[in-house]
Amino acid sequence: MGHPDTFQALRDLNCDILTVQEGHAVEMMKGIAHRLCLNLIAFAPATSFPGCIFTRYEVKEGRIFNHAGPTNQNAPFSRFVAAALLTVEGKDACAVNFHAWPHHEAM
């Protein structure tokens, strides 16, 4: 289930919400979520390098937008933009995770 130091670092952060970009296969992320006793919202990108959100909160909904192809070369997100609707202390809250173009400063 991943490198032991990585798992320990995630555990030590003790986050309520943790977003990950360029993660691992969903099965590995599920294993990490299980070991950390967190919910997982996994996001498959249109190209490669999945992302996810780990959270202690109840997940009401997850959405992903991943548009790839020749006509989307200038889209603002290189792999995905994703959101999870969570219930935090009885109220709705939205956690967002996105991967912007790392080599295009103008975007």
pLDDT at 38: 95
| Span 58-105, pLDDT tens digits | 999 998 876 655 665 666 566 677 899 999 999 999 998 877 666 666
- The larger pLDDT score, comparing residue 102 to residue 107, is at 102
Q: Quick one: pLDDT at residue 86?
A: 96
Give the residue with greater pLDDT, 50 vs 107: 50
pLDDT at 4 > cutoff 70 = no
What structural domains and CATH numbers belong to the chain? 4-100 (3.60.10.10)
Model confidence at 24, pLDDT cuts 50, 70, 90, reads confident
Distance CA 59, CA 87 (A): 7
7 CB-near residues (< 8 Å, 6+ apart): 1, 32, 35
Decide: pTM greater than 0.75: yes
Task: Quote the CA–CA distance of 77 and 104 in Å, as a whole number.
Answer: 11
Measured between alpha carbons, how far is 49 from 40 in angstroms, rounded to an integer? 16
